[in-house]
Amino acid sequence: MPFARPTKPKLAVWKFASCDGCQLSLLDCEDELLAVCEHITIANFPEASRARVDGPYDLSLVEGSITTPHDAERIHRIRRASKYLVSIGACATGGGIQALRNFQDVQEFVSVVYARPEYIQTLAKSTPIADHVYVDFELRGCPISKPQLLELVNSFLNKRPPNLPNRNVCAECKLRGNTCVMVAEGKPCLGPVTQGGCDAICPSFRRGCYGCFGPGEAPNIAALSARMSEHLGVDTSDLVRVYRTYNSAADPFRKESERHES
């Protein structure tokens, strides 16, 4: 059938260890959701629909980190069924808050939370999707930004690369015209080493950035740590925690936190 109407691309949303907030961002696109659905078939999105369409899928959005033996297998099946796979959010790209286990004994964690540890199956480390399979693109953030998600889907539908600037939070803060919270108010801020995309929300509310979009490109983290400890009264043990939040499995943050561990 040479003139058959092209079918709509199929979108699938997959969940691993996460809070569901990043996939919820798609449902939170209240003004755009119905328009997006005219151009794409929601083929697998359990949080939104009971209906399922078999793969392969044109666009897979993967939320969450890998924390169980079963999930470490499942991500390979999803990769095989997906033409273009995007990991979304800090769990999928930086291990998530649950990667705090990576620095401690997970079996001890199990015994703290559960009365019957033998019922619980879990891996020693929480790891990003890219540690397991090839990832075509990553959307950062805890949670991801809605404008960035829409740009990603839009660029995919129009067969062009996503136009998402690779600048840090500092650059976005300047663009918003904020006074620097670190220079003017002496508040510790991860803006200089954190990838932008949030539009510098925290400094706009007069608090320092806490790095939820993960490390930016080639960050000079050691210089920032020195500044925070010498001028802002952040002591070494605090520095460990500063880099161990939502992206602690991302290499630059992990290494810097380990450097300050006594």
Instruction: Tell me the CA distances in angstroms from 12 to 53, 70, 182, 183, one per residue in order.
Output: 9, 19, 41, 44
> What is the residue whose two structure tokens read 């078939």?
41
Binding of other proteins by 84 (CB under 8 A)? no
Q: Which of residues 141-200 bind other proteins (CB under 8 A)?
A: 142-143, 198
Interface residue with other proteins, options 2, 3, 119, 218 (CB under 8 A)? 119
Interface residue with other proteins, options 68, 154, 155, 229 (CB under 8 A)? 68
> What is the residue whose two structure tokens read 């990576």?
102
Q: Are strands 82-88 and 10-15 parallel, antiparallel or unpaired?
A: unpaired
Q: Which of residues 85-114 bind other proteins (CB under 8 A)?
A: 96-98, 100-101, 104, 106, 108-110, 112-114
Instruction: Give the residue with the Cβ less far from other proteins, 68 or 154.
Output: 68
DSSP state of 144: B
For residues 211 to 240, the per-residue mask of contacts with other proteins, x marking binding by CB under 8 A and - elsewhere, is -x----------------------------
Q: How many residues in total does the chain contain? A: 262
Structure tokens at 158: 């129009």
Interface residue with other proteins, options 11, 22, 75, 152 (CB under 8 A)? 22
Does residue 84 sit in helix, strand or coil? strand
Binding of other proteins by 202 (CB under 8 A)? yes
Structure tokens at 85: 């796979």
Contact 64, 18 (CB under 8 A): yes
Instruction: Give the residue with the Cβ less far from other proteins, 217 or 241.
Output: 241
Does residue 189 sit in helix, strand or coil? coil
Instruction: Give the residue with the Cβ less far from other proteins, 33 or 130.
Output: 33
